[in-house]
Amino acid sequence: MPAPVQKPRTLYDKIWDDHVVDVQDDDLALIYIDRHMVHEVTSPQAFEGLRVSGRSVRRPDCTLVTVDHNVPTFSRKEFTDIGSFVTEPNSRAQCQALEENVKQFGLPYFGMKDRRQGIVHVIGPEQGFTLPGITCVCGDSHTSTHGAFGSLAFGIGTSELEHVLATQTLLQKKSKNMRINVEGTLNEGVTSKDVILHIIGVIGTAGGTGCIVEYAGSVIRGFSMEARMSMCNMSIEGGARAGMVAPDEITFNYLRNRPLAPKGELWDRAEAYWRTLKSDEGAKFDVEVNLRGEDIFPTVTWGTSPQDVVAITGNVPNPAAVADAAKRANMERALSYMGLVPGTPMQDIKVDKVFIGSCTNSRIEDLRSAARIVLAAGPDAKVAPGVDALIVPGSGLIKRHAEAEGLDLIFKRAGFDWREAGCSMCIGINPDKLAPGERCASTSNRNFEGRQGAGGRTHLVSPAMAAAAAMTGKLTDVRKFLGGDVTTKNPLKPTSEYDFFTDPVEPAPEPEPLTKTESASSKPLPPTETPSSVAKFVVLKGIAAPLHLENVDTDMIIPGRFLKTLKRTGLADNLFYALRRDRETTEFNDEMVLNREPWKHAKILVCTGRNFGCGSSREHAPWSLKDFGILSIIAPSYGDIFKSNTMQNGMLPVTLSEAECRDLAEDAEAGLEIEVDLEKREIRRPNGKPPIPFTVDEFRRHCLLNGLDDIALTLQKVGAIGQFEQRRSETWPWLDGFGYKGQKIPVAPVKKTTKMEW
């Protein structure tokens, strides 16, 4: 009999197929997670969950922990410990909790004394922890960055994080396949950051919802790994949970010799497998977008959403030209927040601050490209008067690498502030933030209201454009600095031979005993125990509050500065902070519906705009809604991570058509109580209108109706997980991490790094 012909598969299909541990009737699959990265903001509640239920971390060897969001980026010369160095109490508490958890659960950790510390999405690739063909997760939406290596990498919430720690698996439904092709040649001054901003401008922040995006085409193939990471990083801003690029020579060259990448014969086996990781000819994509490199120009955002983009040569758009009333209102709000007048040339907009950093653009190439512009401005050129310009390398190693190339001197000579690694001014939950009304050209990824500090105004740009803005004091077309051959004019000498091996890679430490008699990792996993309970959701009757906004992001639901908590509760007052509070006095206002009777008591939120809960993976968003009393949201569509986060908390997101949402919003405006019945899958109104039916995943419905905990259910499949791990060790042995079953990876000999003379 001829062998069955397998139909052509996409890169995503292949990685998915290779990770399925178990499939349930309703399309949900338990998939194995190869790499788990952890930081201090989204993990404390998950570790607490493990502690309470007496569970251990299943694969410390596949877990890597660092501290990045809260850390101050000023000099660490005087650093002794977190307790004295991180002075803001909530930030300190999160960093200290992480260090305690690392010890207690025995996890590999790059702390603040370790020069490999840095932004979680920078250090994984840098160490070779991120590899092609893997599944990779982190309690952070920009995990999409790691897809640049041809891996399936996506952000998860805190409950899912706990699930991965305990089981090394996740319950997932397969997403749709989307491909974005960028063919042709890029214009002068256009970088991968401009390409991804342009893409988001075209597809919108909901464009990739429900999809995994593969970036393809000659432009992408020509990009370095750094450039691919910047693109995949912002997949989440385009609504997609993950973005990926098929691995190729550029990927292999980047990874070869990285500390945690396979070596010798294992490398050869791995590379042979990695070469199979590309979409087959004829593979089916549910959505395909084709763009031309020639149509992309140096790009900048004007508004408060990453889709609000314009070429730097353009003007601030005019809301009056927009027919749709809701869109016009959104634009007016954005322009008022940004303090911009329609028609103003973008290049006339003055900036107060420039930030070069974040998981999008803080890698060595980003720093080089910014340095080139500074050099092109002239030997004595300085940062424009009145502008504060900050350069924050993504990791301690990048900082050293840049210093070895002398980039720090270029920056410092021109008046830039040269910092230590961390998330810094990307999110403003550490000392680096914008003051109210300050305007910043930023290489980060989110320009939401208040993102870089309450009242701060963000324009997203590439590192070269940020450097140009620093030198002129205004948003500036980078091409002004690019006349002639910049590389010969500017004597930058990149060092590809940077030595990553001077620090030994140690296996994870032994877990500390939880009590005198039981340790976190030696305690056996609970067997087929009765599923523990989370709150049940059966029928919910109550006041519904109407909300007429599109693309409500989780930064809007709860701003970053309120994430610095170790608890899941106490967040109600900060729900929709910017909408509910007066900008000046911060008192609750009367305009926002949730501040008024009877909606103050709302149990249901009816949102008429699409893409509710997009952006960051913070589970604090559903926690704050729940804390306020809202247990069900009704909207036309959701950000993928937010949707699963709500269901992990006994809340029900109902998806209805836009017309149905508008209809229900009328009832909500009238202050009527409505009833969400999960048992019958329908929404009932008291005014004689017919019930509205809805659909919901069967497994999720079952869990919600019975108040079941995913982790306990998954642990019933521990046998299948163990079998998968055995096959994984045989087929992909390089995926067992350092320290697995007592193995150690050899430490390469120490090489000397010399400061470059140029």
Ligand X SMILES: CC(C)[C@H](C(=O)O)[C@@H](O)C(=O)O
Where on the chain is the footprint of ligand SF4 (CB under 6 A)? 68-69, 119, 140, 142, 358-359, 423, 426-427, 444-445
Give SS3 for 1: coil
- Give me the least distance between CB of 646 and ligand SF4, in Å please: 21
Closest to 63 in 3D by CA, of 120, 22, 115: 120
205 and 551 in contact (C-beta within 8 Å)? yes
Select 37 or 331, whichever has its Cβ closest to ligand SF4: 37
**Residue 645, interface with ligand X (CB under 6 A)?**
no
Q: Whole-number minimum distance, CB 358 to ligand SF4, in Å?
A: 4
DSSP H or E segment with residue 278: none
By the rule CB under 6 A, 153 interacts with ligand X: no
How near is the Cβ of 296 to ligand SF4 at its closest, in Å? 23
Q: Does 155 participate in binding ligand X (rule CB under 6 A)?
A: yes
For residue 363, the minimal CB distance to ligand X (Å) is: 17
The residues, ordered by sequence, that sit 6+ positions from 64 with a Cβ below 8 Å of its Cβ are 35, 36, 37, 38, 107, 108, 110, 123, 124, 127, 129
Checking phi first, is residue 296 left (phi over 0); if not, alpha (psi -120 to 50) or beta?
beta
C-alpha 376: how far from its chain's center? 33
- Report the C-alpha gap between 647 and 638 in whole angstroms: 12
Of ligand X, ligand SF4, none, which one does residue 42 interact with (CB within 5 to 8 Å by kind)?
ligand X
State how far the Cα of 390 lies from the Cα of 412, in Å rounded to an integer.
10
Among ligand SF4, ligand X, none, the one that 9 touches (CB under a kind-dependent 5 to 8 A) is none
Query: Binding partner of residue 444 among ligand X, ligand SF4, none, CB under 5 to 8 Å per kind?
Result: ligand SF4
Nearest approach in angstroms of CB 306 to ligand SF4 is 11
Tokens at 33, concatenated: 């997670």
| Structural element, H or E, at residue 499 | none
Q: Write down the least CB distance from residue 670 to ligand SF4, Å.
A: 40
Binds 155: which of ligand SF4, ligand X, none (CB < 5-8 Å by kind) = ligand X
Is 571 a binder of ligand X (CB under 6 A)? Answer: no
**Of the two residues 14 and 618, which places its CB atom closer to ligand X in the complex?**
618
* Tokens linked to 578: 């910017």
Name the one range near ligand X by CB under 6 A: 126-134, 138-146, 394-402, 522-530.
138-146
Nearer to ligand X, 165 or 520 (CB): 165
Asked whether position 73 contacts ligand X by CB under 6 A, the answer is no
453 binds ligand X (CB under 6 A): no
Residue 393 vs 653, nearer CB to ligand SF4: 393
Q: Which is nearer to ligand X, 521 or 611 (CB)?
A: 611
**328 with 218: CB under 8 angstroms?**
no
Specify whether the CB–CB gap between 130 and 150 falls below 8 A.
no
Show the 3-state SS of 561-618: HHHCCCCCCCCHHHCCHHHHECCCCCCECCCCHHHCCCHHHCCEEEECCCCECECCCC
Query: Does residue 24 contact residue 131 with C-beta atoms inside 8 Å?
Result: no
Closer residue to ligand X (CB): 531 or 560: 560
Cis, bond preceding 598 (omega within 30 deg of 0): yes
Interaction partner, residue 227 (ligand X, ligand SF4, none; CB < 5-8 Å by kind): none
Question: Amino acid letter at 51?
Answer: R
424 counts as binding ligand X under rule CB under 6 A: no
Decide: is 142 part of the binding site for ligand X (CB under 6 A).
Answer: yes
- CB 200 → ligand X: shortest distance, Å? 15
Residues with Cβ within 8 Å of 325's Cβ and at least 6 positions away in sequence, in order, are none
Kindly tell me which residue out of 245, 374, 427, 556 binds ligand X, with binding defined by CB under 6 A: 427
Using CB under 6 A as the binding rule, whether residue 41 contacts ligand X is answered as yes
Q: Do you find a cis peptide bond into 44, omega within 30 degrees of 0?
A: no
Using rule CB under 6 A, residue 617 touches ligand X: yes
What is the three-class DSSP state of 543? Answer: strand
Quote the DSSP letter at residue 350: B
| Closer residue to ligand SF4 (CB): 67 or 414 | 67
**Amino acid in position 657:** S
d(CA 192, CA 511): 42
Residue 85 neighbours by CB distance under 10 Å: 16
Contacts of 709 (CB under 8 A, 6+ apart): 531, 532, 533, 534
CB of 212 to ligand X, least distance (A): 17
The minimum distance between CB 444 and ligand X, in angstroms, equals: 8
Among 92-100, 261-269, 611-619, 747-755, which window interacts with ligand X (CB under 6 A)?
611-619
Among 140, 388, 627, 725, binds ligand X (CB under 6 A): 140
Beta strands in 563-655 (DSSP E): 604-607, 632-635, 652-655
CB of 587 to ligand SF4, least distance (A): 29
Of the residues 616, 624, 648, 649, which one makes contact with ligand X according to CB under 6 A: 616
Instruction: Give the contacts of 14 (CB within 8 A, at least 6 positions apart).
Output: 133, 276, 277
Residue 415: CB minimum distance to ligand X, A: 28
Which amino acid would we find at residue 574? N
Looking at 577-635, list the stretches that DSSP marks H as alpha helix, in order from N- to C-terminal side. Answer: 577-580, 620-628
CB of 175 to ligand SF4, least distance (A): 21
Shorter beta-carbon distance to ligand SF4: residue 229 or 633: 229
Residue 531 binds ligand X, judged by CB under 6 A: no
Tell which residue, 479, 374, 389, 465, has the closest CA to residue 432. 389
CA distance 246 to 255: 14
Q: Residue 14 or 39: which CB sits closer to ligand SF4?
A: 39
Q: Per CB under 6 A, which region of 476-484, 596-604, 612-620, 748-756 contacts ligand X?
A: 612-620
Judged by CB under 6 A, the stretch of 5-13, 103-111, 610-618, 718-726 that binds ligand X is: 610-618
> HEC profile for 448-488?
CCCCCCCCCEEEECCHHHHHHHHHHCECCCHHHHCCCCHHH
Quick one: what does residue 119 bind among ligand SF4, ligand X, none, with the CB cut-off 5 to 8 Å set by partner type? ligand SF4
Least Å distance, CB 623 to ligand X, is 12
Q: Does 141 bind ligand X (CB under 6 A)?
A: yes
Shortest Å distance, C-beta 555 to ligand SF4: 10
Residue number with CB closer to ligand SF4 (391 or 704):
391
For the bound state, the minimum distance from the C-beta of residue 68 to ligand SF4, rounded and expressed in Å, comes to: 6
Query: Using the rule CB under 6 A, is 552 a contact of ligand X?
Result: no
Is residue 563 close enough to count as binding ligand X by CB under 6 A?
A: yes
Stated as kind and residue range, the H or E segment containing 693 is: strand 692-693
What six digits make up the tokens of 175? 């997403």
Check: CB of residue 111 under 8 Å from CB of residue 415.
no
Out of ligand SF4, ligand X, none, what residue 358 binds, judged by CB under 5 to 8 A for its kind, is ligand SF4
* Residues forming the site for ligand X (CB under 6 A): 41-42, 69, 140-142, 155, 427, 560, 563, 616-618
